[in-house]
Chain A
């Protein structure tokens, strides 16, 4: 049986990677190893959280994106941006100007991805009320968290909320709107401007959905740089004034920590940061953390404001968005803004399409399908582990002594990959070959 490989957006640039172990050490799913002097990623273990990219000292880990010129394949070129993008710009740039800057890059429409969150509040509340038996309901908003649960906490998969994120709702409703305005479906290209790798992975190989309504993905830092440098060299005063719909206050804050939980009835909590998430999920699994109705959970510190593709400081982004919310409130009182019409117009269509199918666990921890065989492997792992020094130095190219023992038993490594084992064995020629296999020939040339 061929194994399905899940899309992951993080890519290692072979010619830049020099095979240190920074990424190997920080990966929350132990998806990375050093082999032949380069970091290698096991696709199905990767949850696209981006911690490796953050840790890489030479920027050898990047996020693949669609070529910018792809947008010209479409007549209606929609930039679907998260409110987080607006928060990247210094506060003296009004939203309208940022929108117009985006259009100057070649887009015909700009639309914010959090449109639809206001409808979702209702849907989530109903969902939580219906799912009293499996508590807490864990939000499906952050795709890195969904994948983390699938691969590391299979017993909590049933807690994941089977409702779409606002991003998908905004995409389907805006596509419908454009079709009603006369565009054919294949003339509409919706490009998501992503703050992270996880959203790309979720679009390219969606969990619990057949396919995504989004046609392409552009990294937020790429678009930010284009727009911002446009502002810097701008001379003329002419600018496109885009058609613009105002995000509601709750929608602007949706991607920030607390954005969801604030609006959900019952006992709720917001968790951000991958380590915090793991610790919390352990607690739920043990039953120690119980009696919660809804858990908002995001992989990044400060949620999407800390997305790996953001350019601004995450705390400044939060501050700017909060200011924008205050301004929205004032404008509303003064009658300067109109509410979001597209979403309201398509609300019944969105409600019909809000559900996602079941999400399957896909444990990456299991040593073997067969428990008897897995137990035998476990015995061997424990035996090998007992000979290893237990200092987790990483010189074998794996994150810890324990993971080396696992790799050996799974046939991916050799006990003598451990430098401590090497010195106690007296077979120098074999030592050299093993070490070269991990670190590459060049590394040793440097020493002689």
Chain B
């Protein structure tokens, strides 16, 4: 099954809506609660990153009986140094974003920790792609 959602950059009031939708579908197709929890954390972080750091993006979800695959594609500034961005606590978030409770620099590391396969690719000045794969069998 394939799903697609668009994500608006900068709109924090809507950050997490797409993830909540997908989470509900994961519950409906009876994926184990502990797996849902891991996917939920990873996709929420990825969605928030699009809102916080990019201009706009989309979330593509593919669920089959063996795995849940989620790809985020955004148009934005991209990431200059991915190794650095992957470090716990590293963040370029503005003070304003931090005031809203985002920007602890744990998003990318937590994504990696919570899924089975993780990929992040980026072209500076163009955008970022994040892929999250979780096996459910």
Contact = CB atoms under 8 A, between A and B. Distances in A.
Interface of A: 154-155, 157, 282, 285-288, 361, 363, 365-372, 374-375, 378-379, 382
30 contacts: A155-B36, A282-B16, A285-B23, A285-B37, A285-B40, A286-B16, A286-B23, A286-B41, A286-B44, A287-B40, A287-B41, A287-B110, A288-B16, A288-B44, A363-B30, A365-B27, A366-B28, A366-B30, A367-B28, A368-B29, A369-B30, A370-B30, A371-B31, A371-B136, A374-B29, A374-B30, A375-B64, A375-B65, A378-B28, A382-B1
A369 B30 CA distance: 6
B39 to A, nearest CB: 10
A367 B29 CA distance: 6
A155 B30 contact: no
B34 interface: yes
Contacts of A374: 28-30
Contacts of B48: 288
A286 B33 contact: no
Contacts of B85: none
B61 to A, nearest CB: 12
B110 A371 contact: no
Given A155-B37, A286-B44, A287-B44, A378 B30 contact: no
B45 interface: yes
B63 interface: yes
A285, A363, A368, A379: most-surrounded residue (chain B CB, <10 A): A285
Given A155-B33, A287-B45, A365 B24 contact: yes
Nearest to B43: A286
B25 interface: yes
Contacts of B36: 154-155, 285
B33 A154 contact: yes
Contact of B1 (A287, A288, A379): A379
A156 to B, nearest CB: 8
B29 A375 contact: yes
Interface of B: 1, 16, 19-20, 23-25, 27-31, 33-34, 36-37, 40-41, 44-45, 48, 63-65, 101, 110, 136
Contacts, number: 69
A93 B24 CA distance: 50
Contacts of B30: 363, 366-371, 374
Contacts of B101: 288
Nearest to A372: B65
Contacts of B37: 155, 285
Nearest to A367: B28
B18 to A, nearest CB: 11
A310 B75 CA distance: 54
Given A371-B136, A378-B28, A361 B33 contact: yes
Contact of A365 (B28, B63, B64, B136): B28
A287 B104 CA distance: 13
A374 B64 CA distance: 11
A366 B64 contact: no
Contacts of A370: 30
Contacts of B27: 154, 363, 365-366
A286 B107 CA distance: 12
Nearest to A406: B28
B41 to A, nearest CB: 4
A185 B24 CA distance: 48
Contacts of B65: 371-372, 375
Contact of A286 (B20, B25, B28): B20
B50 to A, nearest CB: 15
B19 A286 contact: yes
A238 B29 CA distance: 66
Contacts of A286: 16, 19-20, 23, 40-41, 44
Nearest to B25: A378
Given A287-B44, A371-B136, A375-B64, A157 B33 contact: yes
